[in-house]
Amino acid sequence: MIKELEKVMIEDVEYSFDPEKEYIKDGHVYCKVCHERKDGKALEFFGKQMIFKTACKCDRDREAKEKERQKQLEIERLKSICFTSMI
């Protein structure tokens, strides 16, 4: 099932957001968990004004944890290759 995104006008630009994870306050979109602003500045992109999502604290923490997990998996993989038994 596809999530239904809601749309809001920010700085005269249409912006889509997930109402289950984000809310509107003072004309901007915020994360429901960490309450950081999710919408960035309106920028011109291929001749059209667009607003790109910015990473909130939750997103940055999630990304850092995933990066650390990938690093640990790579370390374990390299250890298993390096220290194989010759018996």
The string of pLDDT tens digits covering residues 42-84 is 888 888 888 888 999 999 999 999 999 999 999 999 988 887 6
As a whole number of angstroms, the distance between CA 33 and CA 66 comes to 19
* Residue 32 DSSP symbol: T
- The percentage of the chain sitting over the pLDDT mark of 70, rounded to a whole number, equals 93
**Between these two residues, 22 and 4, which has the higher pLDDT value?**
22
Q: Would you state the pLDDT for residue 87?
A: 57
What's the whole-number average pLDDT of the chain?
87
From 3, 42, 43, select the one nearest 22 (Cα to Cα): 3
